[in-house]
Amino acid sequence: MNDAAARSLAARGLDVRDEAGPPPGATAALVLADGTIFWGRGVGATGVTEGEVCFNTSMTGYQEILTDPSYAGQIITFTFPHVGNVGANPEDIETMTPAARGLILRADITEPSSWRATQHLDAWLRSHGLIGLAGVDTRQLTHHIRDSGAPSGVVAHAPDGRFDLPALRDKAKAWPGLAGMDLAKTVTCAQTYLWDETRWRLGEGYSRLTEPKYRVVAVDYGAKRNILRCLADLGCHVTVVPATTTGEEILKHKPDGVFLSNGPGDPAATGTYAVPALQRLLADTGLPIFGICLGHQLLSLALGAKTEKMHLGHRGANHPVKDLASGRVEITSQNHGFVVQDDTLPEALEPTHVSLFDGSNEGIRVKGRPVFSVQYHPEASPGPQDSHYLFERFVDAIAESKR
C-alpha cells in the first residue's frame, strides 16, 4: 500500500484491513481472531485488552453501558457515532468499577455539552483503565459481526503507532469466548450489604428510603445500581448478597421477596452454584421471586428449561417486546448474549414476553405462583417507562403474600 493510498484511507477514518502496517496517524488497532484488522486512533488508557467484540445500538447512555457489569468480558462497539457529548459524571454509573474490556467508536470523542458533566469522557476512560479506539467504520464492523457472529478480538492502543500484529492476532485467537465462562463471580459483591438509595429526580438527585415496607434479598450476579434504586423507590429495604450465597443463607434474612439480578457470562456455568440455591428458594411455594436478564436465565434453568448462546445477542435501547397477556408492545433496553430456549420450557412455566425482532423468549412465569422473570432491563428508560410496571408487579406480589 503506497503513501497516497494510506493517506486516503486515513482521511476516511483510519479503517484499514492491511497487515503491512498502520496508516499514518493510527495509534490503535482492533485485531479479530480471523485476522481482520481495523485501524484507528487510540482513546482512553494505553495498552492491550481482549474480549468478545459486540455492538450496542443505543443512542444515549454510554456511561451506563460501560459500567453495566453484564458487559464483563466484552469490547463494545457503539453504532451511534457521537459518543462523549454529555461527558461523564459520578451519578450515571451502574457500578464503581467498569467491567467492560474496551470500546470502539466511529468518531473522536466529542466535547461535553451537558450541565451535569464533571469530566471529559476520555479522561474518565483513562481513570478507569478502559482502552478504546476511534475512527473505525463501525457500520462495516457491525456488518462483520452480524454475518459472522460476535468474534474474539484484541484492542491495542499504542501512542507510538507500533504494533506486533502476529502477537495480537494470536492473543485474539487464544481468548476462549464467553461460552462456558462464569463471570458472575468476577463482578458480584464481596460481602452482603444494605441498599436504601432511591431513584434520581431532577432538582433532588438521589434520596434515601425512610419508611421501608418490605424486606427484599437481591442476589448480585452483577447488579446494576438503578435496579436496586427501583426496588428501594417502591419501599423495599434491600439486602444485597453475593452470587454464591446459598438458598438457606438467603432464607435466614427472612425476605418478603427475592430479586435475581442481571449479570455477565454463560448462565449454565453460573448455574452450577446458582441453580441449587434457587431450587431451595422455589421449594418455598409462597415466596415471590423476580429475575432480570441473567437472573431470568438462571431461574429458567432452576425450573428445568435450557439456555443457549445467541449468534449476535441483543444489545441496545430500541428492542420491541410483546407482552403476550395484554398484547402491549414495550420498547426495551437489552444486553444479553444467551437466551432461554422456548421449546424447553416445562409444563409449569408459561412464556410471557417475546422479542419482536427475532421471536426469542423475553419472559416467563410459574403458573399459579408469584414467580416471574424477564430477559430485558425494566429499570432502564428507553420507552421511557414502558416496563416499570414489572417492579410494581413484584411489590404487589409481596404485599399479597404478606396478606
CATH number for the domain including 305? 3.40.50.880
Cβ of 211: how many Cβ atoms within 10 Å?
6
SS3 sequence, 95-160? CCCCCCCEEECCCCCCCCCCCCCCECHHHHHHHCCCEEEECCCHHHHHHHHHHHCCCEEEEEECCC
Q: Are residues 77 and 223 located together in one domain of the fold?
A: no
Total domains present in the chain: 2
Q: What are phi and psi of 163, to 5 degrees?
A: -140, 135
- Write out pLDDT tens, residues 69-78: 999 999 999 9
Q: Is there a contact between 206 and 196 (Cβ–Cβ < 8 Å)?
A: no
Active site residue 379: yes
**375-402 residue pLDDT tens:** 999 998 777 788 999 999 999 999 999 8
Model-level pTM? 0.93
Check: CB of residue 294 under 8 Å from CB of residue 267: yes
At which of 134, 155, 174 does a domain end?
174
Catalytic site residue 189?
no
pLDDT digit string, tens, across residues 47-106 = 999 999 999 999 999 999 999 999 999 999 999 999 999 999 999 999 999 999 999 999
The pLDDT of residue 380 is 85
The reply to whether 109 falls in a domain is: yes
Would you call 18 helix, strand, or coil by DSSP? Answer: coil
Active-site annotation holds for 64:
no
List the domain range (segments joined by +) for residue 225. 184-402
My answer on whether 340 and 394 are in the same domain is yes
The one catalytic residue in 52, 293, 319, 330 is 293
φ/ψ (deg, to 5) at 126: -65, -40
Looking at residue 152, which CATH number applies to its domain?
3.50.30.20
- How far is Cα 394 from Cα 261, in angstroms, rounded to an integer? 14
Q: How far apart are CA 128 and CA 350, in angstroms?
A: 42
Q: Catalytic pick from 144, 237, 353, 377?
A: 377
What's residue 19's pLDDT?
A: 54
Q: Which of the following is catalytic: 50, 52, 94, 379?
A: 379
- The C-alpha cell 428492542 sits at 319
